[in-house]
Amino acid sequence: MTGTTEVKVWQAVALTLFPEMFPGSLGLSLAGQALDEGRWALETVDIRGFARDKHRTVDASPFGGGAGMVMRPDVVDLAVQATMDKAGDIPLIYMTPRGRPLTQSRVRELAQGPGVAVLCGRYEGVDQRVLDAHGAEEISVGDFVLSGGEVAALSLFDACVRLLPGVMGSEASGAEESFEEGLLEYPLYTRPAEWQGRTVPEVLLSGHHENIRAWRREQAEAVTKERRPDLWKEYTKGKNA
| Position 4 in a domain | no
3-class SS string, 54-121 = CCCCCEECCCCCCCCCEECHHHHHHHHHHHHHHHCCCCEEEEEEEEEECCHHHHHHHHCCCEEEEECC
To the nearest whole percent, how much of the chain has pLDDT over 70? Answer: 94
Q: Which of 21-25, 32-36, 176-180, 186-190 has the lowest mean pLDDT?
A: 176-180
Residue 172 is predicted with a pLDDT of 47
User: Is residue 166 assigned to a domain?
Assistant: no
* 1 pLDDT more than 50: no
Q: Does a structural domain hold residue 171? A: no
132 and 184 co-located in one domain: no
Residues 119 and 189 in one domain: no
Verify that 188 and 109 share a domain, yes or no: no
How much is the pLDDT for 178? 72
Number of compact structural domains in the chain: 2
Residue pair 144/87 in contact by the 8 Å Cβ criterion: no
Rg (alpha carbons) of the chain, rounded to whole number: 22
Task: Report if residue 141 sits inside a domain.
Answer: yes
Check whether residue 143 and residue 186 sit in a common domain.
Answer: no
Range of the domain at 104: 10-161
At residue 179 the predicted structure's pLDDT band, cuts being 50, 70 and 90, is confident
pLDDT at 173: 58
Question: What whole-number distance in Å separates Cα of residue 84 and Cα of residue 67?
Answer: 31
pTM of structure: 0.91
Q: Amino acid identity, residue 229?
A: P
